[in-house]
Chains A and B, each alone.
Chain A
Amino acid sequence: MNNRKLGKWVGGFTSFALLAGLLAACGGNGNEASPSASSPAAGGASPSASAPADPTQLSGTVKVWDWDETFQNGMIPEFNKKYPNIKVEVTVVNPNDYLQKLQSGIASGSDVPDVILGEEAYRGKLFDLDVLDNLEGAPYNFDRSGVLDYTIPFISNSRGEVVAVDQAITPAGFAYRRDLAKQYWGTDDPAELAKLLSNWDDFIAKGVELKDKSDGKVLMFPGLGDAFLVLRNQNTVSYVNGSEVDLTAKLQQPIETLFKMRDAGILGKNELWTPAWSASMAKGEFMFYPMAPWGPKWHISANDPEGSGRWGLVKAPEVGFARGGTAVGIYKDSKAKEAAWAFVQFAYQSEEGSLYNFQTFGNMTSNKEFYEKQKALFEAPGAYDEFFGGQNLSQYFLQEIIPDMKGQPQSKYDSVVDGVFNALYPLWTKDASTTVDAALEKFKTEFKNKASDATVK
């Protein structure tokens, strides 16, 4: 009897404990309306100084969400040589659902990283959520004049505050097949080619020549997606003002040029990132692939492993453009802002970090000073120069492509534009009779369907 009684009590108590636990958890969920007030005064060790005098004084734990574990596994030990008392914890998060995880984390008040990464696909949306701290304020005191000028729009939110630093710069040109250029155009020299392709009209004319000479076997780009991403990113006009979205200003010109190319028959029919698209690099069916500094490793040599020596890099007609890129910011309610900044600053901006980053991963920092101090480093051959026929790739990016580049102001509507384009360009490929006006109208309608709060021009 006694045992049964005891059992009843134990059972009852367990149930109540469970109930209490669950309700507490729910309560935590429901309280998101009151933001944690502890944010500004966190740390408190060295409030005003921009960089701590003695790195060993700084301590704490910094949580980072990154998809590139290899990078962090290499960088963190380097960082800890200088900052031995800061612990960096990395959670591997896939870029495709990064923002989703972050939003859920913030909404539920659970796990939020101190260091947040914004990949191109969702960077504008991330900035617009207003969860990143202004890096020009304390305790960071970041100086925007220290980074390459064209990168500033890429790291600023719609209020013009710098809220992130670049993981690496992503100026882009075209990777091209040297063998095909030599065969059909008589030269494979980047400077000669740049002259032949100084504007888009020349580009189209050269494309038609290529198509005719090769009996249609070799075309300029693998598909409309590749061509459009160049054209769109070359047009860096600020097309969003609050909820007013001027799609005509942003897209009319790119679509016109795109359709000229399509109608000239110099574009292939491949969709971006499909197996056929990847395989085309080794097959030599297309002359050009838009390429940023991350391209030689992840893109060209990965899809054409036997192709060493037959690739080159040339700048795009008219003006350079950016391709991809990730911005790194700090959560505004982080409890370890100074430690987090120490890490971000070290990994992506400091001389030691940038050197390690370039030598190990080929990433190029956005820090101006680094390029002045390390001139010799960039004059020496890089890891993929051999693959590109001995061309010095980083020098080419720095001297030929970056100088005339402009940055694109970021907006939450960027990802909508991207999504709508991804949905529409296969249809434009399929139905080659679509006109520019019809395409633009369709684009606006689709855009409005997805961004009902916006006024579209």
Chain B
Amino acid sequence: MNVNAERYDAIPAASRKRRWGPRMWPYLFALPFVLTYAAFQLYPILYSFVLSLHDWNGIGAKTYIGFKNYVQLWTNDPLFIKSLWNTLLMMLMFIPLTLILGLTLAYWTFQLTRGKRFFQTINVLPYITTPVAIGFIFSYMFDWQTGLVNLLLTKFGILEEGFYWLQDPWGSRAIIALMVIWRNLGYFMIIFMAGMTVIPQDVYEAAKVDGSTGLHTFLRITMPLLRNITVFLVVTSMIGGLQLFDEPKLLYGGWSGSAQVGGPDNTALTMIWKFVDESFISNTRFGYASAIAYSLFLLIVLFSVISYRLTAPKEDKR
């Protein structure tokens, strides 16, 4: 909007009326969005901050308790710290892997002369599958007694007895990471491929003339030129990773009424799951849950800034 205003200032004013007219319109056209944003984004954000300073079960009276919720959350809630730790661990498992696999897959698919469309479609399918179905598929696959994975492992004599994947601290996290990778790989691939289409062919031709081939071209030309795409993917997957919820929840709560919160010994409890548990499942502490949401919000801002600083090209780091 500033840019517009500057531009209009630069144009010599013809008349007062004309100046007034075009100046009002941008604001007016922006108004519906700004209002919707204020009502459905800004207001809830501010209101949840106010709520986080209260003790409230959603129905009774609200009591103002200052920053007690935050103090309790950060100093006296082992489950919250554990959920933060779990979330970071799982992010560490799936973000690098998805990036590397996505890039390799994109590069490989991009070079294909036949069946390109087919591979693209196949790889994007998981991304458009509903999370509920993914939860079911994975809990079937990794079931202790009847799961396909254990069946194969015991059949080929790799294991004597099935491994209890879903009730092992690292097993549970690895499976969740696997679910996220499986789901997002196609998306990463598509975005990387879009980035590759933008790279001009003459750069490659020039490299070829200079004698660069295969891996060298990939490392020296393709990867650096995909930097912006990578930054975008890293930052968005950081944000998405911190909000991890669907996969673990559906892996452990997919069956029926007796849903399990947090996986074995809470090793699969993510921050959002903890938030949901505090507000709706184990407790009805809306104020406390708001404090979790707000802490998460600040963490997301922090991590986004850090990941941007780490990955963005030097000239962009302002």
Contact = CB atoms under 8 A, between A and B. Distances in A.
Contacts of B61: 33
B205 interface: no
Nearest to A449: B79
A95 B284 CA distance: 16
Nearest to A129: B59
Interface in B210-251: none
Interface of B: 21, 24, 28, 31-32, 35-36, 38-39, 43, 47, 57-62, 72, 76-79, 139-140, 143-146, 164, 166-168, 255-266, 277, 279-284, 286
B146 A276 contact: yes
Nearest to A22: B39
Contacts of A99: 280
A130 interface: yes
A368 interface: no
Nearest to B146: A276
B72 A452 contact: yes
Interface string A395-434: 0000000000000000000011011001100110110000
A107 B59 contact: yes
A131 B261 contact: no
Contact of B261 (A269, A271, A272, A419): A419
A63 interface: no
A11 B167 contact: no
A451 B59 contact: no
A84 interface: no
A451 B265 contact: no
A12 interface: yes
18 contacts: A8-B28, A22-B39, A96-B259, A103-B280, A106-B58, A119-B257, A121-B258, A130-B59, A270-B145, A276-B143, A422-B260, A423-B262, A423-B264, A423-B265, A426-B167, A427-B167, A446-B266, A449-B78
A18 B35 contact: yes
B35 A423 contact: no
Interface of A: 4, 8, 11-12, 15, 18-19, 22-23, 25-26, 29-30, 33, 95-97, 99-100, 103-104, 106-107, 119, 121, 125, 129-131, 225, 269-276, 279, 415-416, 418-419, 422-423, 426-427, 429-430, 446, 449-452
A54 B283 CA distance: 44
B282 A272 contact: no
Contacts of A422: 258-261
Contacts of B284: 103, 125, 129
A95 B257 contact: yes
A452 B75 CA distance: 13
B43 A129 contact: no
A269 B144 contact: yes
Nearest to B29: A11
A273 B280 contact: no
A107 B286 contact: yes
Nearest to A8: B24
B36 to A, nearest CB: 8
B282 A450 contact: yes
B291 to A, nearest CB: 13
A145 to B, nearest CB: 31
Contacts of A452: 72, 76-77
Contact of B32 (A15, A130, A416): A15
A276 B32 CA distance: 53
Of the candidates A33, A106, A274, the one having the most CB atoms from chain B within 10 angstroms of its own CB is A274
Contacts of A29: 47
A131 B24 contact: no
A107 B277 CA distance: 18
B19 to A, nearest CB: 15
Given A129-B59, A129-B284, A450-B283, A423 B72 contact: no
A26 B38 CA distance: 10
A96 B254 CA distance: 11
5 interchain residue pairs of minimum CB distance: A107-B58, A22-B39, A100-B280, A273-B256, A276-B146
A180 to B, nearest CB: 19
B145 to A, nearest CB: 4
Given A103-B280, A450-B283, A273 B146 contact: no
